[in-house]
Structure 1
Amino acid sequence: MSEQLKFIVEQLNREPFKKNFNLITFDSLEPMQLLQTLNDVLAEIDSKQEIDIREEMPEQTAKRMFTLLGLLKYKPTGGFSDTSSFRQGLVTGSKPVIHPILHWLLQRVPELKKRAYLARFLVKLDVPGEFLTDDVISETYHQYEELVEGFKSYHKECEQLRNSGFSTAEIRRDIAAMEEEKDQLIKRVERLRKRVESVSNHQRMLELARQLRVEKEREESLAHQKQEQKNQLFQAEQRLQRCQIQLKDLRQAASDAKPESLMKRLEEEIKFNSYMVSDKLPKELERMRRKVHYLQKVASEPAMGHAELADLEDKIKQLSQMNQVMEKKVSRSDPMDDNLALYRQQASIIARKKEAKAEELQGAREELAGLTRELNAKSNQARGQGGVEIIRADEFKRYVAKMRGKNITYKKKRQETAELKAEFGILQRTEEILRQRHTAELQQLQTLEAQRGISGFSETQEELERVSAIKSELDELKGRTLDDMSEMVKKLNSAIVEKKSALSPIIKELRPLRQQCQELAEEYDEKKAQYDTCAAGLESNRSKLEQEVRTLREEIAQEENRYHHINCQKEVIEIQMQRAADEMKVYVSSDPQTRKKSIREQYMKNIAEQESLGKKLREQQKQVKESHGPNMRQVRMWKDLEQLLECKKQCYLRAQSQTSIGQVIQDSGEDRLVL
């Protein structure tokens, strides 16, 4: 499980997720956060799944994820093979359900992306059969299936093109390189044309070169035709040899075939065919007819109810019981009572053996016919593909002997090529040494010229020689002929022969050293292989030991944790035991003051105080219950008295206000009378 979590955290911290988790933070995620992480991974596989699960109902989230996992062909592991339990764990964001899904998804993200993309187009719509009776719907569904098949073919072609190794960038680079080569060739052609135009009779020479090229192409085509004719001749010879071998086999078979053996073989075939026609095939035909009749009878009968099925089951049980009784009776009966029982048994055994052998013979014949057809088909396929006939064992042996001879020749040629390459390396090294000496002599010459006060004399002399050489070459170009070229080739060949003869002793000395080098190289390869195997073994042992050390360290850590935990428990128990011993000492003590300090006495005192307090509270409760009714009536009476006094107050205030109003009116009337 820890490896699984490490893999999940490592993948989630990479592109494109960038979650920045560690083992602790990932393991402490809430169910909703874990579901959101799973949804982010599914959104990377299928962009339609990019939804915030807080804005979606849990059932819809589970249904959406369950559908996508079904399309991706995910199979639940562990104890969640049941669909209902798996769905419940997915809804609640259970870690035992989510972690295996994340591990499975992150292992194969590119593959699942491709599968989700294809499922978008290849998962067919489920149209009920009753709707397909409509012509329009049926035609539309047929077009839909054709489009799905077309998408499959196009997708396969696209994958083949992607896997073919060609890319647009490579093709563009090739085109650019070809364009550059084309420009370079055009420039070279222009330079050569300008150079040739200065030569007399250049048109004639160009025409001759063109004819030479045509003749070379014709020579190549003729060589190709010659090789094809050689191959055809070789194939015809092989076909002739096979035909001769077949003719020889047929002649041997005809020479060995006697009339008696032919008659015997024909009689055996006739007996076998008559047995198949008169005994085996009629029985099989009758059995098939009975089976078809029984199936037709079953198909024609109406559907049975539960009661009829129960009756049939009862009848089957009765028949099975009767069968068992008959078998017991037969087993109990003495075979000596029936004189023909032994012969009947032997006849039945022989008949069964006969049927078995006939079936084996028929199967062998069918297998032989199938193998013959397969052989003919493969022979025709081989002829059609490469035009090569299938060779026999003796022809293959001759071919192997021929290839061995060619292999020996190839090894000799390869050795000669290696010697020539070594000689070429020696010549290159000689040329380099001569160039270095020439450079040193030039520097020495320049130093001497500087000392004598004639600096640049050699360069001027070389320039004059070069100019004169160029002039002589230009003069010779006009009158040069093929004889001069052949003479130059002869000189070069003679120079090469001289160099070879000069270098042959050195090459002879190098041959044993080369052989020794090859032997040392073989020994080095062998030792290196031994070293690699030993290193691989040691590496595997080291990894095993590291795994064991890691396991032992984990066990040590667990045992240390357990040790500290047990020590803590031990200390707690010791403290509890000490307290119990102190309590016993105090409890057993004869001093009453000391006994009062014991926990038991304190608890008893607290219990007594709580009991007395509870008793007082119960008495108060009883008094409250008894005085509750009168007190409530008294409260109501006080409320009524308060209302009555308030009413009297209002009446008094009203009377006072009326008296003051009358006095004012009276005073105003008197004032009027005075006036």
Structure 2
Amino acid sequence: MGEQLKFIVEQLNKDPFKKNFNLIKFDSLEPMQLLQVLNDVLAEIEPKQTIDIREEMPEQTAKRMFTVIGMLKYKPPGNLSDVSSFRQGLVMGSKPVIHPILHWLLQRVPELKKRAYLARFLMKLEVPAEFLQDDVINDTYHQYEELVEAFKTCHKECEQLRTSGFSTAEIRRDISAMEEEKDHLIKRVERLKKRVESVPNHQRMLELARQLRVEKEREESLAQQKQEQKNQLFQAEQRLQRSRQQLNDLRKAAADASPESLMKRLEEEVKINTYMVTEKLPKELDSKRRMVQFLQKVVSKPAMGQAELQELEDNIKEVNTQINQLSEKRMMRNDPMDDKLTLFRQQASIIIRKKEAKAEELQEAREELAAAERTLAKRKSTARDVDGDEVIRGDELKRLVVKLRSKGTVYKKKRQEMAELKAEYGVLQRTEEILKQRHESIQQQLQSIEAQKGISGYSDTQEELERVSAIKSELDDVKGRTLDDMSEMVKKLNSMIVEKKSALAPIIKELRPLRQQCQELTQEYEEKKSQYESCATGLESNRSKLEQEVKALREETTQEENRYHYVNCMKQIIEVQMQQAAEETKAYVSSDPQERKKTIRELYMKNIAEQESLGKKLRETQKAVRESHGPNMKQIKMWSDLEQLMECKRQCFVRAQSQASIGQVIQEGGEDRLVL
């Protein structure tokens, strides 16, 4: 939830909303402010929704937002799947409802803009069938449907042209950039030509450089062709080896197979297939059909209640008890002929079960074989895609092992040669150091001789001249190669520009009528759009009027139904009361005393008499209680005083008894002292 709020706040702070929210401020928004934020986001997607929600009723706001969200195909989360709770939360501006909507909308604003634009023209108006019976309305509606289909085709063509990749502006920019690059290269080539013209025999050197480049390219192409031919030869040898192996396998199989063995094998396969077709598969098919029929019966029957299920369970128990009784009777009868037959029946059933088990094992083995063959074919195809050919066989593997061994011996030889070369390199390095030392000593002697003769620095000047001449020759070679490269690049650019122009020429020719057609379609689209909007506004106004009328009629119908039910209930109550009154009158007028005793009046009179007698007895009891109240209270006081007196006597007795025991103890202590 926190990540969701962060994303919503970040998106609302960006263009085009620029709300300048933070998490605390956004979380503390009032329901009305939160609804306004949601309305602003919807207005960015659908400009017609730009409105201040304080200027419209809450029901209208909820209805409008609910319509737009439904058009955008928003699905509430699992805890808000109830439409009524979702609508109520949207009306109240509840955060658990608004936050997921904002998160979903802000994730896909460009996509929803396109969907809202298309929905404006593709959502068909629902016209009742009774209005379509009118010819004018029916023709208008058919014309409206044709315009919607035409809009779909035009929109698809427009999207295809946009996504086709042939953007004229980009192509023009590419051509202008290539032309500018071409001009720069031409200028650089001219500057290099002016520099190279001063070099003697530059034409001859350029020609030789071109020939060298051509020969190198030819050498590379020949080497590539040679490698491709080697690969083809290797693949052909592998195919030949595999074909020979397959031929040997087929010959071995033909040599081992005799007509009798082939016939036996075919007979076994025929028996197995016959059993599968005539016995096993029909039984499975019948069982499946019975199961399907049973399921169809179950589906066709209405849903059972608890009482019906209990009844079925009771029937099943009764049938099971009957089956058990019949089996017990059969066991008690114990017919010896049946006993003999049961043995054979058991054997036959065992054989049938074994046969079915073997048939199932055979079916499973065939399925496994088919799966293994499919897996093998897949692996062969993957190996063929990776290596360019099939999987390596045994002979090829042996040949590869021999080749690897030969390469291993070659590797060992090369390794020994490398060790020898390293040793020789060490010797040569030491020789080089010795020669450098000798060269330095000779140079020192030469410098001393030059100093004696008065021409010191002569050898250094000569070496410097030789080095400068070598550098100049290298620069001349580099200039020649650079000039050739530049000329080749210019040629390639010219050819690319020509190819681009030739490729773009038919596209530009095709684009011109398409532009004109697009302009015509755009103009026609605007006209149809205005017609559609006028028709839509008229139908919308009619629909709103009809909805208001239907709403008023429904409310009136509901009120009348409530009134009818109330009157009907009052009528039933009055009828019951009238029936009771008639029965009471009939019983009261009746001459039978037993019947008269059953009347409500008699019952009420009897209850009144009983209550009066009970009240009389209670009044007498109350009078007796009032008369004896004073003496009784006096007697209670006397008993409480007596109780206090007895408690004081008890305490005095306990105290006297305790003092006597203490005095006895003191006396016994004095006697003990006298003894001591």
Q: TM-score, normalised by structure 1?
A: 0.44
Q: TM-score, normalised by structure 2?
A: 0.44
Q: Which has the higher contact order (CA 8 A, sep 6+)?
A: 2
